[in-house]
């Protein structure tokens, strides 16, 4: 199981901490807030040679999504992962998967802050995406066990909202502990605020490891 650092919601005051955390994780996830604060060049200087996970949750007409992914692939150093909405049309999902890039596409079915959703309906949406060719998913902590039971090692799960028992769950519903995530076979956990809030970042990160 690998750790991704979520830097997508940080403020300028968090930049020094972000640089420190980036040294110790496998990948850095960036999103709208950070990208509206810094350029891609500045982000690359901040996190060094770490893989970049672009969490824009793309959802648009198919050609726009495909072209955007290909353009990001050219403009973002170490572009390794990107997200798109798995609830979009079949054609849009297929466009995201067919983009000319070495980056790995991840489908988002539900948000980790969602508390009111139907498990059976969500699993049906996972299955639809799987049948369209998706093999990597952002997965709500509440759904991990059911998704793994259904698809096993055929898919990889990237799970936000992972928290130590001592940490606040913030706005993540039904957070998982790192231990539970590992037991369930999660491939990647995504952690942000608990690291940023830590008095000793390396010590806190070691607890997750």
Tokens standing for 8?
Answer: 């997508």
Task: Give Dmax (Cα) for the chain.
Answer: 47
Instruction: Identify the active-site residue in 29, 57, 125, 204.
Output: 57
Tokens standing for 170?
Answer: 């913030």
Q: Report how far residue 10's alpha carbon sits from residue 200's, in angstroms, rounded to the nearest whole number.
A: 18
Burial letters for 76-86: b for 16+ Cβ neighbours within 10 Å, e otherwise?
A: beebbbbbbbb
Do residues 103 and 73 touch, judged by C-beta distance below 8 A?
A: yes
12 belongs to the catalytic site: no
Helices then strands, each counted (H, E), the chain: 10, 8
Active site amino acids? 57
């Amino acid at each position: 199981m690998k750790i991704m650092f979520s830097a997508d919601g940080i403020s300028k005051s968090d930049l020094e901490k972000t640089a420190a955390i980036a040294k110790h994780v496998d990948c850095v996830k960036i999103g709208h807030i950070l990208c509206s604060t810094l350029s891609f060049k500045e982000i690359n200087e901040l996190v060094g040679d770490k893989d970049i996970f672009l969490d824009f949750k793309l959802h648009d007409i198919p050609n726009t999504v495909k072209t955007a992914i290909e353009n990001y692939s050219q403009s973002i150093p170490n572009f390794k992962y990107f997200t798109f909405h798995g609830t979009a049309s079949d054609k849009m999902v297929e466009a995201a998967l067919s983009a000319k890039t070495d980056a790995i596409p991840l489908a988002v079915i539900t948000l980790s802050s969602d508390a009111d959703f139907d498990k059976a309906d969500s699993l049906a949406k996972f299955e639809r995406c799987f049948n369209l060719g998706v093999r990597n998913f952002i997965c709500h902590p509440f759904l991990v066990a059911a998704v793994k039971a259904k698809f096993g090692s055929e898919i990889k799960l990237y799970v936000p909202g992972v928290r130590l028992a001592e940490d606040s769950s913030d706005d993540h519903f039904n957070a998982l502990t790192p231990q539970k995530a590992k037991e369930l076979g999660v491939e990647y956990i995504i952690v942000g605020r608990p690291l940023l809030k830590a008095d000793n970042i390396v010590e806190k990160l070691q607890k997750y490891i």
